[in-house]
Amino acid sequence: MAMLFQYLSAELGIATNKSLPDILGEHMSGGPRIAYWIQAELVAIGTYLAEVIGGALARYLLFDIPLLLSGFITYAVLIGLLLIRDYSGAGRFGQTITFMLIIITIGFVLGLVYGDTDWIATARGLVLRSEGPELLVASMLGATVMPHAIYA
C-alpha cells in the first residue's frame, strides 16, 4: 500500500505541479486538514528517528560509543546538515554531502585494502540471491518505499 500511495503522490505532483500538502491545503479545512498535518509530521518524525537510531547503532558497533551519546552525536550531525541546507544554500549543502560520500568511499576502499578481505566471498556477495522470493520483495520494499516521499 505504501508503494501505491508513493506512486499516486508522485503522479499527483506530475499532473498538477503541486505537492500533496498543497492540494490538501486547497481542498480541506479545519479538523481534517489538521489531522493530515499531524499525520505527516509523525511520518517525518518516524523517518528521522530511524536515521538517528541507525546512526547511533553504527557508531556503537564501529567505535563502541554508548548508544545514548551516539544518538546525540547523530542528532547533532543531522541538525548541522539541516542548518547548512537552510542557511548556506543548495550548492554548499551539495558540496557537504559530496564530501561525506567521498569520506565514506575512502573508508570502504581502505577497509578492503587493509582489512582481511576474503575476495571470493566478496565476489559471491555481489551476486543477487535469496532464500526465497519473500526476502527479495522485503528488501526491495525497504529500499524503495519512503514514507516522507508521499508528502514531497
What's the rounded Cα separation, in Å, for the pair 150 and 152?
6
Is the model's pLDDT at 134 over the cut of 90? Answer: no
**Is 34 strand, coil or helix?**
helix
As a whole number of Å, the end-to-end CA separation of the chain is: 17
> What are the two backbone dihedrals, phi and then psi, of residue 118, each rounded to the nearest 5 degrees?
-90, 100
pLDDT average, residue stretch 100-116: 90
- pLDDT of 5 reads 75
**Is pLDDT at 90 greater than 90 in this prediction?**
no
CA distance 103 to 36: 39
144: burial class by Cβ within 10 Å (0-12, 13-18, 19+)?
exposed
Which pairs count as long-range contacts for 69-77, CB under 8 Å and 24+ apart, including other chains?
Answer: none
pLDDT at 105 over 90: yes
10-69 residue pLDDT tens:
888 889 888 888 888 888 888 888 888 888 888 778 777 878 888 889 889 889 999 899
pLDDT (0 to 100) of residue 20: 80
Count of C-beta atoms within a 10 Å radius of residue 36: 16
Q: Break the chain down into helix, strand, coil percent, rounded to 5.
A: 85, 0, 15
Q: Hey, is 127 helix, strand or coil?
A: coil
C-alpha cell of 135? 526476502
Domain locations in the chain as residue ranges: 2-145
What mean pLDDT do residues 93-108 have?
Answer: 92
* Residue found by looking up cell 520483495 in the block: 137
